[in-house]
Amino acid sequence: MSPAWTASWTQAVTDVGVAGLELRDVTVRITVEAGVGGERLRAGLSNRFGTTPLHVGRAAVRVDGRAAPMRFGGRSAVDVPAGEDLVCDPVDLAVVAGAEVEVDLYLPGPWRYATANVSTATWHPSAPGDHAGSDDFPGRATPELTLPDGAEMELPAPVLRDVEVLRDVPTPVVVCLGDSITAAGWPERTARRLRDRQVAVVNRGIAGNRLRLDGAGPFGPVFGASGRSRFDRDVLATAGRTHVVVALGVNDLGHPGTMAPEDQLPTAEQLVRALDGIGARARDAGLSVLTATVTPFDGAEGFDRERELRRAEVNEWIRGLGSGVVDFDAALRSGPGAIALDPRFDSGDHLHPGDAGLDRMADVAAEVLGRSV
């Protein structure tokens, strides 16, 4: 069998132009963890939500301290047109699972920070100038965004959409389609648990994402297109994809009346139809489908008894699917019959799992995937 490109790390990108940041004469270093290894690598860049071309003056990639230039059609510089993605030429650096991969992009600018997404990647801008591939990177603090409630968050890593590796031996690639709970990193933690089996578990989570409808409110563009409408580009376009885990629905229930109009609250039947539709599309494309139960959110903003009844009805349908179920609800709630996150797993907002909760999700996902891949 000839070598094939395989997704090792991914993110789903959204429109983050609300940050109002401009990048000029700066090198950004984006650090990710390789999920699986290969003989060569390549990186995918995205300017999907930019309004002007993204000019990359020079780029380099480093793997565990070994550096090599990135080229684009043999050139060291490239313009990524507004609204488009681009993949660099293959880079002759071998990668092992768990390796730290650093992608350096020198952006002469000006470029409006527009395409990014909350993910497990970390990034830092440099002091002014071209520092691509530098052993002594002059990193600066990651810029922050002030949220409507006054809280601050680090801006997510720009431009980088995926890192792929070239492999002689095929490996399963599990694409995780989800919201902020997925973006927080249970797929990467799952990949570590399956590392000995060489299984890629890659992340296509978007904070605030919904299953049926696009994001609404001031942060609607950041919350992204609905899971079902981005399915082709974020799942089917993932290199080597063999499986998909669909972990969406809690924002469909929690956002109406808070971040979205009240009349967008779906019935349980509407959520089931949407999940069933995604599953059918995935199977038609040759993927194995796993569906995650909708996680508890009692005590979080947007919760009420009627929404809980709808969540329970959706989860009952999901559990009826049989072996292709990842039961995050049962894993995270405080006990049989409970409707809230176990305090041990709660980040504090009664919606998002903390580190212990993400580890618990990874344990459950790894167990199910271990029987499926």
Decide if 126 is inside a domain.
Answer: yes
pLDDT at 337: 86
Cis ω before 128 (30° cut-off from 0) = no
Q: Are residues 361 and 224 in the same domain?
A: yes
Q: Are residues 147 and 18 in the same domain?
A: yes
Q: Are residues 248 and 312 in the same domain?
A: yes
Boundary (domain end) residue, out of 160, 191, 213: 160
Q: Are residues 228 and 127 in the same domain?
A: no
Q: Which residues of 63-101 are buried (b: 16+ CB within 10 A; e: fewer)?
A: beeebeebbbeeeeebebeeeebbebebbebebebebeb
Neighbours of 120 (CB within 10 A): 19
Q: Are residues 141 and 288 in the same domain?
A: no
pLDDT at 244: 98
pLDDT at 150: 63
The token pair at 62 is: 């480093």
Query: Distance between CA atoms of 154 and 145, rounded to whole angstroms?
Result: 6
Boundary (domain end) residue, out of 160, 195, 226: 160
Boundary (domain end) residue, out of 133, 160, 187: 160
**Positive or negative CA dihedral for 313, 315, 320, 321?**
positive
Query: Distance between CA atoms of 141 and 89, rounded to whole angstroms?
Result: 30
pLDDT tens string 177-186 = 999 999 999 9
Q: Are residues 96 and 238 in the same domain?
A: no
Domain hosting 184: range is 171-370
Decide if 79 is inside a domain.
Answer: yes
Query: Distance between CA atoms of 268 and 249, rounded to whole angstroms?
Result: 10
Q: Are 183 and 118 in contact (CB under 8 A)?
A: yes
DSSP category for residue 30? E
Q: Are 314 and 325 in contact (CB under 8 A)?
A: no
Total domains in the chain come to 2
Q: Are residues 279 and 207 in the same domain?
A: yes
Helix residue ranges per DSSP H, the chain: 180-183, 186-193, 220-223, 231, 250-254, 268-284, 305-319, 328-332, 355-370
Decide if 166 is inside a domain.
Answer: no
Q: Each residue's pLDDT tens digit in the chain (373 positions)?
A: 689 999 999 999 999 998 889 999 999 999 999 999 999 999 999 999 999 999 999 999 999 889 999 999 999 999 999 999 999 999 999 999 999 999 999 999 899 999 999 888 999 999 999 999 999 999 999 988 766 556 677 889 999 999 999 999 999 999 999 999 999 999 999 999 999 999 999 999 999 999 999 998 888 999 999 999 999 999 999 999 999 999 999 999 999 999 999 999 999 999 999 999 999 999 999 999 999 999 999 999 999 999 999 999 999 999 999 889 999 999 999 888 899 999 999 999 999 999 999 999 999 999 999 998 8
pLDDT at 373: 86
Q: Are residues 130 and 194 in the same domain?
A: no
Which residues neighbour 303 within 8 Å (Cβ) at sequence distance 6 or greater? 254, 297, 350
What are the beta bridge partners of residue 63? Answer: 66, 101
Decide if 165 is inside a domain.
Answer: no
Give the DSSP letter string of 330-348.
Answer: HHHBSSTT--SB-TTTB-S
Burial class of residue 266, CB neighbours in 10 A (0-12, 13-18, 19+): buried
pLDDT at 148: 57
Q: Are residues 131 and 195 in the same domain?
A: no
pLDDT at 122: 94
Q: Are residues 313 and 185 in the same domain?
A: yes
Decide if 43 is inside a domain.
Answer: yes
What are the beta bridge partners of residue 245? Answer: 176, 290
Decide if 94 is inside a domain.
Answer: yes
Provide the whole-model pTM: 0.96
Q: Are residues 133 and 177 in the same domain?
A: no
CATH number, residue 194: 3.40.50.1110
Decide if 327 is inside a domain.
Answer: yes
Decide if 152 is inside a domain.
Answer: yes
Q: Are residues 128 and 219 in the same domain?
A: no
